Amino acid sequence: MPKDKTIDFPESELLTELSVLQEELAEFAREHGAVDGGDAVWIFRLVQGVTPDEWESLTERHDFKQWLTLPINSDAFPHLKLVQQTLERLTYQTDHDALTGLANRRAFDRTLDIEIERSKRTRTPLSLAILDLDNFKHVNDTYGHPKGDEVLARFARQLKASTRRYDLAARFGGEEFALIMAGSGVVKAQRLLNRLLGEFREIEFDTPDGGDVFSVTCSVGLTCYKGSVPMTDEQLIKLADDALYEAKAAGKDQVRISKLAFADNVPNDTLVQANEKQFLFGGK
């Protein structure tokens, strides 16, 4: 097959997925000393719209020879497609909140741990925001839980729409949400969050009787990590949570930034003050 043959499926997305998986598996094998003949698993992934010839072309160009493929067509092995669809549905349900469709706490914890380790290896910024709807108990008590659920779902859609494809928006619990922004420093993250708060406070919700409208605001605690100091996921969450508490205490409906741990690594014999360090070394 010619190397320049046009591929009519999202090649870049497939390559990204395979490359990330390949990197994680290789690192896991190095850390755990994997040996031939030991325990192992097969990993199956249905890739629709790819012909055997197209896969062969990808293999030659991107060194995917270690990936075993099983060609199927629309008539062969329909039960395999059903199994794949079932696995995808179960995986989605396991990792997503039923009301909002956002990632749940389980998926959040797993992703945050991965991104912290990635930040340690690459020294790239990682921002974490904890978001909490203001006076949400009043919404439930005054307008009822169905209206409260409507507010939660609407905020989730707004949060999801404000993020990049590789950010992770999660429902942290109750009216609390979280946003993991890999590769974003504090300045870029704060700009995104301020825009989100401004857009959400403009949304009007009808009261159950239809006679009036109300709006809801949100407070945010933001922190950033750049891999230069030891950090656990619990510590990073606490930094963001403490900043959220400050936002609530300062009047709500605002973003507060935590003390950035890596700013303390800057030599004190410079003329840069602590708050300036926060800005200058907060990333991009």
> Which DSSP letter does residue 259 get?
P
The residue from 175, 234, 246, 276 that is catalytic is 175
Is 175 tagged catalytic? yes
CB 84, CB 46: distance < 8 Å = yes
Structure tokens that stand for 215 in this block: 């709006």
Residues 6+ apart with CB under 8 A from 95: 103, 104, 106, 107
Residues 6+ apart with CB under 8 A from 188: 127, 181, 283, 284
CB 155, CB 163: distance < 8 Å = no
Q: What angle do CA 59, 65, 66 make, to 5 degrees?
A: 140
Q: How far is CA 40 from CA 36, 55, 66, 103, 217, in A?
A: 9, 24, 15, 29, 50
Rounded to whole angstroms, the Cα distance separating 230 from 24 reads 21
**Order of strands, sheet of 126-133, starting from the edge strand that comes earlier in the sequence:** 168-173, 176-182, 126-133, 218-225, 255-257
| Residues assigned a catalytic role | 175
